[in-house]
Amino acid sequence: MKNKKRLTAWMASTAIVMSVLLTACGQVNQNTDSAPKKDADTQKPAATVYPLTITDATGKKITIQEEPKRIVSLIPSNTEILYALGLGDKVVGVTKWDDYPPEVKKKPVIGDLKPNAEAIVAQKPDLVLAGASANGKDLDALRSLGLNVVAFEPKTIKDVEETIREVGKITNTEAKAEEVVNGMEAKIKTVTDKTQGLSDDKKPRVYVEVSPAPDIFTAGEGTFMDEMVTLAGGKNIAGDLKGWAKISGEQVIAKNPQVIIATYGLTPDAEKSVVERSGWSGLDAVKNHRIVSVDTNLVSRPGPRIVDGLAEFAKAIHPELFK
């Protein structure tokens, strides 16, 4: 029961496993219909020109008539992007799972996994930011109420950066968005500077567990966690699987990971349950006590702090390099 509650909270706060259960894991592009313009003298993005028409991750064309002043966020990662862009004062509604930055807890709550349409409308938003998979079933209903809903679905770290740029374009904060992305790139470089020269035999086999037993899910090819393992100098044992994939204990045993990373909040009892799984006592990761729990919010929310999650992966995989 505890594992079930933990998984429910993880799904709700990150909306990642929802991508597994609701949609295929192929990438959907989101873009503005015109390239961002930059000031010729400063090379900084020019002010957004409204009305602005964009195509979001669901393929929907949305026209933003003027700079948004009241914004509702339906998933925590989008909320973190808004705050990173300095738009906290314009946020008028968030989910019950939003907890970063701390001041977001003072904002009106408009739902959890399922947004409350009445609560959203009451906030009179001129922009609603959503997750294409996490909120997929509710998007049309919200749009039918006349709400301007833009959905994103980043799959890689680069996608996260492009999402930040896109939100910057929509909200007339492009320069700040570039600053945020540049900061992310600098943090990525602090990791890759130490890992990119590693020989193959120095890259440990890594198993990432994104939900516990009985239904074990892992991060396969095409997910940002798979990318994080690679950037952090490891080899993902689930790299031959696609997207957020269900995996059996036997499959894990066959790949014999040297490092196990749990992304859902591994308690001492939960770690014991991992060690005591049938056949797992012989895994290199178990024998060498290389089972590591990382901060769920950092590694599973596709927002600006995903690079801090990368740093946690790096410390778990190469503690000798990242002390």
Average pLDDT over residues 67-78: 98
Residue-averaged pLDDT of the chain: 89
Q: For the chain, where are the E strands, in sequence order?
A: 31-32, 52-55, 61-64, 71-73, 91-93, 127-131, 149-152, 205-211, 217-219, 235-236, 244-246, 259-262, 291-293
SS3 312: helix
SS3 label, residue 244:
strand
- In this prediction, residues 3-29 reach a mean pLDDT of 41
Q: Of 235 and 137, which is predicted with more confidence? A: 235
DSSP structure string for 204-231: -EEEEEEE-SSS-EEE-BTSHHHHHHHH
Residue 272's pLDDT band (cuts 50, 70, 90): confident
pLDDT at 305 over 70: yes
Answer whether residue 16 shows pLDDT above 70: no
Residue 25 has pLDDT above 70, yes or no: no
Q: Phi first, then psi: give them for residue 127, nearest 5 degrees.
A: -155, 135
Query: Does residue 122 carry a pLDDT above 90?
Result: yes
Tokens read off for 252: 């894990």
Is residue 55's pLDDT more than 60?
Answer: yes
Please tell me the least confidently modeled range out of 6-15, 41-50, 146-155, 264-273.
6-15
pLDDT band, residue 45 (cuts 50/70/90): confident
Q: What is residue 30's predicted lDDT score, i.e. its pLDDT?
A: 43
> Average of pLDDT values for 109-118?
93
Predicted confidence (pLDDT) per residue in 198-234, tens digit:
999 999 999 999 999 889 999 999 999 999 999 999 9
pLDDT at 39 over 70: no
Please give the full DSSP string across 75-105, using - where no structure is assigned: SHHHHHHHHHTT-GGGEEEB-TT--SSGGGG
pLDDT one-digit tens code per residue, 152-177 = 999 999 999 999 999 999 999 999 99
Burial of 176 (0-12, 13-18, 19+ CB in 10 A): middle
Residue 38: its pLDDT value, please? 52
pLDDT of 43 reads 64
Average pLDDT of the residues in 132-159:
95
| Strands 205-211 vs 235-236: parallel, antiparallel or unpaired | parallel
